């Protein structure tokens, strides 16, 4: 039997199913054949020295074992060794049994037939590639391998083509263009800088004017030693998931808006009262001017005009706070002073306040309070905290809400505390859960704190409950902004 006949015979074997890797070497220990590998790299081993193959996997002492076993086979003996190999992907150590068998073909050429098998069969051993390949190729996701120049060298979908040509051998720029090609290169650059780490991105592909598909692409970069450097890429169709998430976000926005308008509805009567009071004063001043006619002195006239102006400003402040609070554009953010937002929130909260015994104190100890926010959303959060405090301390002999504005190097901090004696630990663990409330159905939905936390997190901040404080205390942190 000549060497090629031996190789053809070996190709008929299902070695991967037996968890065995089989190879044929020439006298110089160069690969003439190796059984199939995961990504179809078998042809790239041909001509490579077995010692180069093990470079990076084995210690020098382990490589020496391989040399000794191979030398035995060349002398006509069976060379057997136990070696410890380090997995090329996850660096796990695996113990293998290696056997080198002598073989002389019909033409008198010395050959060595080897087999390598792990002691323990698990998914970290590279000879389980058959089973992994089965999972890969049966998966709905597409697994792709690119070389360092971004050429396709493997695609898990056997019939994968582009422009009626097989994908394997084509370059990524022949298949992808525009924004998605730019994203691919960015993903690849990040993967190269973080070898072994998974870099994930989302890609949008327009099917037609009204429809687009969404894919999640995950890439890793690996050094396969003598084989070279390769990018391993997984592409998953997440269109349905994306649409569901978009629907959930839309529903959240609707619930958020309903919560805001419900609060406005609850304040409407008191707001009307707050506006009617200054209007009544304006009306009285106008009537007084009309009654006195020409007999009114210039000093008296100026005094009444000042009074009218003050009441007009009072109404304007109420309307301004309402305008900010009722904005629906969640994407609109601008740099602003957080202390001014707190003042607007207190003013708006007071318009809905019937209980005049409640004392509200605001102290500003921040050196810098500039933040980039959606003012309407942050006012919504603050008013929700004020309302919760007001409901919690109703009936207490001492009723107060204290707002403290602080800052550290990177954040602006708002403390909202009240005269309540804290929250029980069991309740505190649930207060941010959606639909959890300790209030009656008429007073609470269990959405306020949940929505408030999501708003603050969306701004890159945090909303937390301070369980160590003597009083009921919530803390908001927001990233600082700096003037350019």
Identify any residues that bridge with 143 across adjacent strands, giving them in sequence order. Answer: 234
Provide the pLDDT for residue 120: 61
Provide the pLDDT for residue 185: 92
> Could you tell me which residues come within 8 angstroms of residue 454 by beta carbon, excluding any fewer than 6 positions away?
252
Both tokens assigned to 91: 């660096």
Lowest-confidence range among 75-79, 87-91, 211-215, 320-324? 87-91
CATH 3.30.565.10 domain extents, the chain: 245-479
The CA distance from 124 to 118, in Å, is 10
Provide the pLDDT for residue 268: 58
For 119-170, strand residue ranges (E) read 142-147, 152-155, 161-162, 165-166
336-361 pLDDT, tens per residue?
899 988 988 887 777 666 566 788 89
pLDDT for residue 123 is more than 80: no
pLDDT for residue 450 is more than 90: no
> Could you tell me which residues come within 8 angstroms of residue 467 by beta carbon, excluding any fewer than 6 positions away?
422, 423, 425, 428
The CA distance from 335 to 218, in Å, is 35
Tell me the DSSP string of 88-125. Answer: TTT--EEEEEEEEEEEE-TT--EEEEEEEEESS--TTS
Residue with tokens 């004392």: 359
The CA distance from 53 to 206, in Å, is 44
Residue 411, helix vs strand vs coil: strand
Rg (CA), the chain: 37
Enter the CATH code of domain 139-237. 3.30.450.20
Lowest-confidence range among 87-91, 149-153, 232-236? 87-91
User: How does the average pLDDT of the chain come out, rounded?
Assistant: 77
Looking at the chain, the whole-number percentage of residues with pLDDT higher than 90 is 15
Residue 160, helix vs strand vs coil: coil
User: Per-residue confidence at 122, pLDDT binned at 50, 70, 90?
Assistant: very low
What is the four-CA torsion angle of 350, 354, 359, 361, rounded to 10 degrees?
-10
Tally the C-alpha atoms within 13 A of residue 437's C-alpha that lie toward its C-beta: 17
The CA distance from 3 to 470, in Å, is 85
Q: Which residue has the higher pLDDT, 89 or 112?
A: 112
CA distances from 304 to 282, 314, 315, 483 (A): 9, 15, 17, 42
pLDDT for residue 73 is more than 60: yes
3-state secondary structure 433-483: CCCCCCCCCCCCCCCHHHHHHHHHHHCCCEEEECCCCCCEEEEEEEECCCC
pLDDT for residue 16 is more than 60: no
pLDDT for residue 70 is more than 90: yes
Provide the pLDDT for residue 455: 85
Nearest in space to 230 (alpha carbons), one of 156, 308, 152, 334: 152
Nearest in space to 88 (alpha carbons), one of 43, 126, 135: 126
Helix, strand and coil content of the chain, in percent to the nearest 5, comes to 40, 25, 30
What is the CB neighbour count within 10 angstroms for residue 188? Answer: 19
Pick the CATH number of 245-479 from 3.40.50.720, 3.30.565.10, 1.10.10.10, 3.40.50.10490: 3.30.565.10
367-413 pLDDT, tens per residue?
889 999 888 788 888 888 888 888 888 778 888 899 999 999 899 99
Residue with tokens 């298949």: 175
pLDDT for residue 40 is more than 80: no
User: Domain 3-129, what architecture?
Assistant: 2-Layer Sandwich (3.30)
User: Per-residue confidence at 89, pLDDT binned at 50, 70, 90?
Assistant: very low
Provide the pLDDT for residue 144: 85
Provide the pLDDT for residue 290: 79
Asked whether the beta carbons of 399 and 393 are under 8 A apart, the reply is yes
CATH 3.30.450.20 domain extents, the chain: 3-129, 139-237
408-427 pLDDT, tens per residue?
989 999 999 988 877 777 77
DSSP state at residue 126:
G
> Could you tell me which residues come within 8 angstroms of residue 262 by beta carbon, excluding any fewer than 6 positions away?
445
161-216 pLDDT, tens per residue?
666 677 888 899 988 888 888 999 999 999 888 877 888 888 777 666 667 788 88
Tally the C-alpha atoms within 13 A of residue 427's C-alpha that lie toward its C-beta: 9
């Amino acid at each position: 039997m000549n060497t090629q006949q031996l190789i053809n015979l070996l190709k008929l074997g299902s070695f991967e199913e037996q968890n065995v890797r089989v190879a044929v070497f020439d006298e110089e220990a160069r690969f003439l054949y190796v059984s199939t590998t995961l990504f179809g790299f078998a042809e790239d081993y041909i001509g490579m020295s077995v010692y180069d193959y093990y470079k990076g996997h084995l210690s020098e002492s382990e490589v020496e074992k391989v040399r000794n076993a191979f030398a035995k086979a060349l002398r006509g003996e069976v060379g057997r060794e136990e070696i410890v190999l380090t997995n090329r992907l996850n660096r796990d150590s695996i113990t293998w049994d290696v056997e080198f068998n002598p073989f002389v073909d019909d033409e008198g050429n010395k050959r060595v037939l080897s087999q390598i098998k792990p002691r323990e069969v698990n998914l970290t051993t590279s000879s389980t590639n058959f089973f992994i390949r089965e999972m890969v190729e049966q998966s709905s996701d597409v697994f792709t391998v690119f070389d360092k120049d971004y050429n396709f060298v493997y695609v898990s979908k056997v019939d994968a083509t582009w422009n009626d040509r097989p994908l394997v051998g084509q370059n990524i720029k022949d298949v992808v263009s525009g924004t998605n090609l730019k994203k691919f290169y960015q993903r690849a650059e990040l993967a190269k800088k973080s070898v072994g780490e998974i870099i994930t991105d989302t890609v949008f592909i327009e099917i037609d004017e009204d429809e687009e598909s969404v894919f999640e692409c995950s890439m890793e970069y690996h050094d396969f030693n003598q084989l070279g450097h390769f990018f391993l890429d997984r592409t998953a169709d997440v269109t349905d998931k994306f649409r569901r998430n978009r629907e959930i976000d839309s529903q959240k926005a609707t619930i958020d808006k309903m919560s805001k308008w419900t609060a406005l509805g609850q304040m409407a009567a008191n707001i009307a009262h707050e506006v009617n009071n200054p209007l009544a004063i304006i009306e009285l001043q106008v009537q007084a001017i009309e009654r006195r006619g020409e007999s009114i002195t210039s000093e008296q006239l100026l005094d009444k005009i000042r009074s009218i102006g003050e009441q007009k400003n009072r109404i304007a402040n109420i309307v301004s706070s309402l305008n900010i609070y009722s904005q629906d554009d969640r994407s609109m953010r601008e740099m602003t002073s957080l202390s001014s937002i707190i003042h607007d929130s207190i003013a708006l909260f007071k318009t809905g306040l019937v209980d005049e015994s409640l004392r509200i104190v605001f102290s500003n100890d921040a050196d810098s309070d500039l933040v980039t926010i959606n003012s309407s959303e942050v006012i919504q959060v603050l008013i929700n905290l004020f309302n919760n405090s007001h409901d919690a301390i109703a009936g207490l002999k001492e009723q107060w809400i204290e707002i403290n504005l602080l800052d550290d190097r990177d954040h602006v901090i708002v403390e909202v505390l009240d005269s309540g004696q804290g929250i029980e630990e069991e309740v505190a663990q649930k207060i941010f859960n959606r639909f959890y409330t300790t209030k009656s159905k008429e007073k609470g939905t269990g959405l306020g704190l949940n929505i408030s936390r999501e708003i603050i997190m969306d701004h890159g901040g945090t909303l937390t409950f301070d369980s160590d404080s003597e009083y009921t205390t919530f803390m908001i942190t927001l990233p600082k902004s700096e003037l350019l």
